Amino acid sequence: MEWYKDYPHIGYDLEVSLLVFITFSVRSQDIRNTVGNIPMEWYKDYPHIGYDLEGKKIFKPIRNKDELDEFLDKMENPDYWRTVQDKMTGADIRLSDEQVDLVHRLQQGKFGDVNFNEYEPAIDFFSNEVMIHPVTNRPQDKRSFIPSLIEKEKVGKLVHAIKMGWIKPRRPKETTPQYYDLWAKEDPNSILGRHKMHVPAPKMKLPGHEESYNPPPEYLLSEEERLAWEQQDPEYRKLSFLPQKFACLRAVPAYSRFIHERFERCLDLYLCPRQRKMRVNVNPEDLIPKLPKPKDLQPFPTTQSLVYRGHSSLVRSISVSPSGQWLVSGSDDCTVRFWEVSTARCLKTVEVGGAVKGVAWNPNPSICLVAVSYDDTVVLLNPGLGDRLVCTATDQLISSYEEPEEVMDQSVQWAVAEGEGHEQGHRLILKHPKTVRQVTWHGKGDYLACVMPDNGSSLQVVIHQVSKRRTQNPFRKNKGLVQCVSFHPIRPYFFVATQRYVRVYNLIKQELTKKLMANCKWISSMAIHPGGDNVICGSYDCRLAWFDLDLSTKPYKVLRHHKKALRSVAYHRHYPLFASGSDDGSVIVCHGMVYNDLLQNPLIVPVKVLKGHTITHDLGVLDVTFHPTQPWVFSSGADGTVRLFT
């Protein structure tokens, strides 16, 4: 520290100025604070600030200046700027001119001493020049001229590592410069990315033989071809020039259309639509709705098993007995035949007076009656098949009828068959005013509905009650031409299908409940699901419409599987199956599952096309009906046969 003995200061601190002040204060007043180098705020709550050499308290000078006094002091005292407070004693000290100058010098980064020359010439003692009197004259170390053992050891280790392959010397340098790909992560579909899309220009066709100055003769156009070429529109010409033959290349003139063609190509490239067609690759199979495989929906009829031959004309209508043992068929050859289902044996043939339009077996197993309609007559037949007791009970039921006292005036005449007809099985004969097209039974087997299509007439549908031999006309007037009718299997509803609509009537309240719009031109047939909430309609314009009565009055689904007009539709009583017969000679069996859950829509899957009937007079299948217990379907055709598919 004696280096500093000539200086007023004894070194430098971060707070250079403060140290200087301390030494100043020490010199001038010799008030020594003996607390040492401690943070002075320890004393901030005491009246004193430390202790002097004698051990007496150094009291803090009284400071009662407030902000205003400070401000006034600042404004009025010309030495305010050079007055600092001694932290050790708390006294105010006014800096002298010298001290201020020193502070300025130090602030500027200069030496404190004014006389100090920092640029004195330096003497280089340890230079490369060998002096005759060196600074040190020690002899050279041995290690300075023999190879280092430590280095040898280190090199040996490196060599060993290289030999062992732990270190690979001379790794091949990356010759290709590495650049950062600025656009690597950019989306090519973004607006900027689209500009980068490169559409290569179409390549020009290479010149062929016809462009040659000396083409082979077959490339030269004959006179006719040349004429044809000239008459052709320039756009449709195969070649845009005429191949010509020259004796030598020198004789070839300049191509007159060169610039024109260049220009056209440039124009083409310029006007080329720089747009890529974004084609979506959709697997066509994904667009088809997922339906279960027909294999999983078994059982359903798949093959033709039996053919019931015997009729000589088209078989218009068939019906199966409730037990499933017998089948009845009515044909245009004026006969009704009864068949044994399991063997295709015709057990009985009943002749009637006209072409049979409809047959219907009574669905009540305790009554053995078949309703047959021909011309304007409906005959109730007792075939005498099945249980003898049931047959005799049916006969007794019919003969036990007693004429009521007051005779009602009915539009339909009831008569009891007698004589030869009775022996054949005829029991009751109902004479209608018009031709009867369809007969259908109510599920209980007492009511029988008949359809007499006649446009604009009020008498198109009649309902008979067999036990009381009564006939009623349920409708005061009919809109449209009635095609077919059906009873609801459970509830007292009655379905009437006209050409375009199906109307559902409540028979008890005697009102129209629903009107189903079939969206087709001409309804041909109708079937009611055994649950009663679904209806299918076949139409002459090749459509089959499925109605869900809970869902809507519009078809839930329309199936267009047939190629020609549908003639008949039918539901199975137990299995989730329905079938449709068409003029194209095929029967299509569909799986139609109806769920009890109201939220789940019916599942409709076509499962099988059954072919077998030959098309006669443009008519194929005329009627289809299901076996009551087995998944078998019967179909009758214009070829005079009834076929069983199992």
Partner 1 sequence: MSQVQARFFTENKKYLIDDVPFSIPAASEVADLSGVINKLLEAKNDGHKHVEFDFLVRGQFLRTSLASHMEKENISTEEVVEIEYVEKFTAPQPEECIMHDDWISSVEADSEWILTGSYDKTARIWSMEGKAVMTVAGHTDVVKDVAWVKRSENLQTGSLVVNDASLLLTASLDQTIMLWEWNSERNKVEARHCCRGHAGSVDTVAVDPTRTKVCVLPTVEEDEIEEPNRPRKKQKTEQMGLTRTPLMTFSGHNEAVSSVLWMDAEELCSASWDHTIRLWDAETGEQKSTLTGSKVFNSISYSPLCRRLASGSTDRHVRLWDPRSKDGSLVLLSLTSHNGWVTAVRWSPSHEHQLVSGSLDNVVKLWDTRSCKAPLYDLAAHEDKILCVDWTENGLILSGGADNKLYTYRYSTCVSDAGA
Tokens coding 605:
């899957």
Instruction: Give the total of residues touching partner 1 (CB under 8 A).
Output: 18
Task: Please give the residues from 617 up to 636 whose contact with partner 1 meets the rule CB under 8 A.
Answer: 629-630
CB of 622 to partner 1, least distance (A): 24
Closest CB to partner 1 among residues 305, 467: 305
Closest CB to partner 1 among 519 and 646? Answer: 646
Residue from 74, 94, 157, 345 in contact with partner 1 (CB under 8 A): 345
Q: Whole-number minimum distance, CB 392 to partner 1, in Å?
A: 12
Which ranges in 420-530 belong to alpha helices (H)?
Answer: 420-424
Give 235: exposed, middle or buried? Use CB within 10 Å, 0-12, 13-18, 19+.
exposed
Residue with Cβ nearer partner 1 (601 or 646): 646
Token pair 């490196």 is at which residue?
158
User: Closest approach of Cβ 345 to partner 1, in Å?
Assistant: 6
Q: Would you call 642 helix, strand, or coil by DSSP?
A: strand
Q: Dihedrals φ, ψ of 103, to 5°?
A: -60, -40
Distances (CA, A) of 130 to 127, 136, 600: 8, 11, 111
Report the nearest approach of partner 1 to the CB of residue 356 (Å).
25
Cα dihedral 488, 489, 491, 496, rounded to 10, equals 0
Smallest separation (angstroms) from partner 1 to the CB of 629: 6
In the complex, the smallest distance separating the C-beta of residue 630 from partner 1, rounded to whole angstroms, is 6
DSSP-assigned states of every residue in 218-257: GGS--HHHHHHHHHS-GGG-S-SS-----SSGGGPPPPTT
Cβ proximity to partner 1, 279 vs 293, nearer residue: 293
Whole-number minimum distance, CB 445 to partner 1, in Å? Answer: 18
Q: Minimum Å distance from CB 388 to partner 1?
A: 6
Q: Which of 96, 107, 232, 305 binds partner 1 (CB under 8 A)?
A: 305
What CA–CA distance (Å, rounded) separates 646 from 324?
Answer: 14
CB-based contacts of 73-80 (< 8 A; 24+ apart in sequence): none
**What separation in angstroms does the CA of 74 have from each of 61, 67, 78, 617?**
19, 10, 8, 130
Task: Pick the binder of partner 1 from 34, 342, 455, 513 (CB under 8 A).
Answer: 342
**Backbone dihedral angles phi then psi of residue 199, each to the nearest 5 degrees:** -105, 110
Examine residue 323 and tell whether it contacts partner 1 (CB under 8 A). yes
Binding test (CB under 8 A) with partner 1, winner from 23, 212, 244, 325:
325
Q: Shortest distance, CB of residue 587 to partner 1, whole angstroms? A: 18
Q: Which helix (H) or strand (E) holds 269?
A: helix 258-271
The CB-of-372 to partner 1 minimum distance in angstroms stands at 22
By the 10 Å C-beta count (0-12 exposed, 13-18 middle, 19+ buried), 410 is classed as: middle
How many whole angstroms separate alpha carbon 221 and alpha carbon 212? 14
* Closest to partner 1 by CB, 303 or 455: 303
CB of 325 to partner 1, least distance (A): 6
Candidate ranges 237-245, 344-352, 434-442, 500-508; the one touching partner 1 (CB under 8 A): 344-352
Looking at the Cβ atoms of 369 and 604, the one nearer to partner 1 is 369
Strand order in the sheet with 586-593: 566-571, 577-582, 586-593, 603-611
212 binds partner 1 (CB under 8 A): no
E strands of 420-562, at which residues? Answer: 426-431, 438-441, 447-451, 461-465, 470-472, 482-487, 493-498, 501-506, 511-517, 523-528, 534-539, 544-548, 557-559
Member of 306, 502, 544, 619 binding partner 1 (CB under 8 A): 306
Select from 40, 220, 347, 603 the one that contacts partner 1 (CB under 8 A): 347
**Residue number, 486 or 641, with CB nearest to partner 1:** 641
Tell me how far apart the alpha carbons of residues 531 and 239 are, in angstroms, rounded to a whole number. 75
Among 148, 240, 343, 600, binds partner 1 (CB under 8 A): 343
Exactly one of 215, 324, 480, 606 binds partner 1 (CB under 8 A); which one? 324
Using CB under 8 A as the binding rule, the residues of this chain from 363 to 392 that contact partner 1 are 386-389
Closest contact distance (angstroms) between CB of 323 and partner 1 is 7
Q: Which is nearer to partner 1, 344 or 535 (CB)?
A: 344
For residues 252 to 291, the per-residue mask of contacts with partner 1, x marking binding by CB under 8 A and - elsewhere, is ----------------------------------------
User: What is the distance between the alpha carbons of residues 369 and 380, in angstroms, rounded to a whole number?
Assistant: 6
- Residue 436: closest CA among 418, 458, 455, 453: 453
Compute CA distances 286 → 87, 88, 291, 295, whole Å: 90, 93, 12, 20
Task: Say how far apart CA 375 and CA 334 lie, in whole Å.
Answer: 10
Q: Residue 449: CA atoms inside 13 Å, Cβ hemisphere, count?
A: 23
Nearer to partner 1 among residue 112 and residue 324 (C-beta): 324
Q: Per rule CB under 8 A, is residue 100 in the interface with partner 1?
A: no
Distance CA 13, CA 3 (A): 16
Smallest gap, in angstroms, from Cβ of residue 381 to partner 1? 18
Nearer to partner 1 among residue 386 and residue 606 (C-beta): 386
Q: Is 574 in the site for partner 1 (CB under 8 A)?
A: no
Q: Measured from the CB of residue 383, what is the shortest distance to partner 1 in angstroms?
A: 12
Identity of the residue, 306 or 590, whose beta carbon is nearer to partner 1 in the bound complex: 306
Q: Six-digit token pair at 242? A: 């005429």
CA distance 368 to 120: 145
d(CA 290, CA 285): 9
Are the C-beta atoms of residues 473 and 459 closer than 8 Å to each other?
Answer: yes
The answer to the question of residue 96 lying near partner 1 (CB under 8 A) is: no
User: 187: which residues sit within 8 A by CB, 6+ positions away?
Assistant: 193
Q: What's the min distance (Å) between Cβ of 347 and partner 1?
A: 7
DSSP label at residue 127? -
Which residue lies nearer to partner 1 by CB, 265 or 388? 388
Window of 138-146, 341-349, 477-485, 595-603 that interacts with partner 1 by CB under 8 A: 341-349
Single out the segment in contact with partner 1 by CB under 8 A; choices: 110-118, 170-178, 322-330, 600-608.
322-330
Give the residues lining the site for partner 1 (CB under 8 A): 299, 305-306, 323-325, 342-345, 347, 386-389, 629-630, 646
